[in-house]
Structure 1
Amino acid sequence: MQVSNSERANILVQALPYIKKYAGATVVVKYGGNAMLDDELKSAVMSDIVLMQLVGINVVLVHGGGPEINAMLKRIGKESKFIGGMRYTDEETIGIVQQVLAGKVNKDLVQLLEDAGGRAIGLCGLDGSLLKADRLEEDLGFVGEIREVNVDILRDAAQNGYIPIVSTVAAGYHGEVYNINADIAAARIAAELGAMKLILMTDVCGLLRNKDDENTLIPVVNVSDVRRLKKEGVINGGMIPKIDCCVDAVRRGVNRAHIIDGRIAHSILVELFTDEGIGTMFY
């Protein structure tokens, strides 16, 4: 379908008030799911991030890397083990997690963003004591619970024109390294930065009243309604931890949190710069 010049102009006019609104604001994007695996979607995400920076938004990109970790563990003959949706991380596995996330995945994303015309710097939670953690009480091995978030290094990067790309391994207090869930880390970083928005990219279109019917999307949720929606069974399964992250971020001062469909190209721009938005917004 061809877009006429007048339609192009209307799209830009519609975006203008949002560009003004977000200029100088901070937006934290958690990047994961299919958008990290599909080359076309990767390219779309990188161009979205660059455009956001060019219109004056301070962007922080926080990423996971589960499929790459699984592939590396398989390569060395080690089975991936999950408990309650969280990766069990023994001493050997945390070494692989650090190597894959802070090494390969993080630096691949830096290069992709640079190739798209942006200026990026790759960081992990160990850099500048960005993330400090203790071991989770549950028996998940070297999986951490964040105790401190020190965002000075992120602010310094932004002030110098760089987009920080953060992999979520954290420093312990006695030399340990901990694996941190990327959604949780993104929510805490967004709160500490006083971000205007937290955006979680997922492989679903948002919160559905009926999980089998995408026409039942709930576009807006007040965080005070989340407990009721859980009781009703609307929020269940794998959506619970993601929505809990959104609730935590909003209660810690983030203006809005969003779960958006990363399977749709340029979904970040649709959320930020159109009247309709996309996915589910929590406020």
Structure 2
Amino acid sequence: MATAFSNADRAEVLTQALPYFKKYYGKTVVVKYGGNAMLTEDLQQQVMEDIVLLHLVGVRVVLVHGGGPEITGMLKRVGKESQFVNGLRVTDKETVEIAQMVLAGKINKTLVTYLEAKGGSAIGLSGMDGRMITAKMKDPALGYVGEITKVNPVPIRDLLERGYIPVISSLGCDKEGNVYNINADTAAAKIASALHAQRLILMTNIQGLLKDKDDPTSLIPLIDMEEAEGMIGSGIISGGMIPKIECCITALKNNVSKVIIMDGRIPHSVLMELFTDTGAGTMIVKKKKAEKDTANKNDERTDD
């Protein structure tokens, strides 16, 4: 039977969250949103509620999104088969045009509409706007898959200063006007670095980093860069998690305070991470403090 919460219970929850409201007020948090967290409208609505609440309590939130499943679905509708090499979509001219339509059009504007409906003020952009993301071809065999060469944070900062939530699709372009599809984790990490973000949050379809990928109870709540690199070398971190962890390490080496990998399928996981004592998912830091319990994520959450 569901537990009834009294007004006193609700007040206590807010009191416990108050130190975190103060901690993040005026700070920049970049949230990468995509994949399975986008697949149901209920989850989409809950993520948008989290983002708007952060915005309303004074957090400068930047939402970066991909949309791989939607791109795959649209390609299927036009009779085009998706091909992948090492987890990256082979992107010919027709495919990148569809990716641009889906990412900068349908998904981006849908997210803006959801945020506005929840009481936020949002403006949607792609990495092509204001040459925010300059890119080059990553590998000719992959076609128009981009490698980021530069991030221009000025358009994002301008929107934040004016009180908007920037919603950014993971597209970029080069000086010749070629458009590139860019991995959303990579785009979010580069944007977070350019903004000197307090937190980078990557929403995934697993709880976080696991010691055993087949055991959901083996969550690692806290890890530092050296440990993460060692786990890649030993094979504990493998497959598609490797580029995600490498994005995290790159961000930490370039101005981002801490990175979180969390399960975007859990309702309100962003709020749990930022505004509760225990947090959510796996926190990755530059270097853990030797004098503290290295398994205690709570210690690392209290200072930057």
Which digits, 9 at most, give the CA deviation of each residue in 1:88-121, with x for residues without a partner?
Answer: 1001101101111001110111111111111110
Which digits, 9 at most, give the CA deviation of each residue in 1:208-262, with x for residues without a partner?
Answer: 1011111110000101112211122221111111111111111111000010110
The whole-number CA distance in structure 1 between the counterparts of 2:239 and 2:140 is 19
| 1:157 corresponds to | 159
User: How far apart are residue 5 of structure 1 and its match?
Assistant: 3.1
RMSD, aligned α-carbons: 1.0
The answer to which of 131-140 and 212-221 deviates more is 131-140
- Tell me which stretches of 4 or more aligned residues in structure 1 moved more than 4 Å: none
The whole-number CA distance in structure 2 between the counterparts of 1:273 and 1:51 is 11
Paired residue for 2:62, among 60, 71, 77?
Answer: 60
| 1:148 corresponds to | 150
Paired residue for 1:263, among 265, 276, 298?
Answer: 265
The answer to which of 231-240 and 145-154 deviates more is 231-240
| 1:108 corresponds to | 110
- Does the aligned pair in 1 maintain the 2:52–2:115 contact within 8 Å? yes
> What SS does the corresponding residue of 1:242 show, helix, strand or coil?
helix
- Does the aligned pair in 1 maintain the 2:260–2:281 contact within 8 Å? yes
| 2:301 corresponds to | none
Supply the AA of the counterpart residue of 1:39: E
The whole-number CA distance in structure 2 between the counterparts of 1:250 and 1:227 is 13
Supply the AA of the counterpart residue of 1:268: V
| 1:45 corresponds to | 47
Supply the AA of the counterpart residue of 2:267: A
User: How far apart are residue 3 of structure 1 and its match?
Assistant: 2.4
The whole-number CA distance in structure 2 between the counterparts of 1:16 and 1:139 is 51
- Does the aligned pair in 1 maintain the 2:139–2:145 contact within 8 Å? no
| 2:212 corresponds to | 210
| Correspondence 1:223 to 2:257 | no
> What SS does the corresponding residue of 1:42 show, helix, strand or coil?
helix
The whole-number CA distance in structure 2 between the counterparts of 1:133 and 1:73 is 23
Which digits, 9 at most, give the CA deviation of each residue in 1:134-184, with x for residues without a partner?
Answer: 111362100111011001101111111110000011011212111110000
Q: Relative CO higher for 1 or 2, CA cutoff 8 Å, sep ≥ 6?
A: 1
TM-score (norm 1): 0.98
| 1:90 corresponds to | 92
> What SS does the corresponding residue of 2:141 show, helix, strand or coil?
coil
Identity %: 56
The 3 A distance-change label for structure 1 pair 14 and 138 is farther
The whole-number CA distance in structure 1 between the counterparts of 2:109 and 2:175 is 26
- Does the aligned pair in 2 maintain the 1:198–1:257 contact within 8 Å? yes
User: How far apart are residue 6 of structure 1 and its match?
Assistant: 3.1
- Does the aligned pair in 2 maintain the 1:134–1:173 contact within 8 Å? no
Which digits, 9 at most, give the CA deviation of each residue in 1:48-93, with x for residues without a partner?
Answer: 0011011111000000111111111011110011110011100110
Supply the AA of the counterpart residue of 1:177: V
| 1:123 corresponds to | 125
How many equivalent residue pairs?
283
The whole-number CA distance in structure 2 between the counterparts of 1:88 and 1:60 is 28
| Correspondence 1:240 to 2:279 | no
| 2:192 corresponds to | 190
The 3 A distance-change label for structure 1 pair 182 and 14 is same
Gaps in structure 2 of 5+ consecutive residues:
286-304
> What SS does the corresponding residue of 2:217 show, helix, strand or coil?
helix
Paired residue for 1:133, among 119, 135, 156?
Answer: 135
The whole-number CA distance in structure 2 between the counterparts of 1:281 and 1:227 is 15
| 2:5 corresponds to | 3
| 1:36 corresponds to | 38
Supply the AA of the counterpart residue of 1:256: K
The whole-number CA distance in structure 2 between the counterparts of 1:148 and 1:243 is 21
TM-score (norm 2): 0.91
| 2:295 corresponds to | none
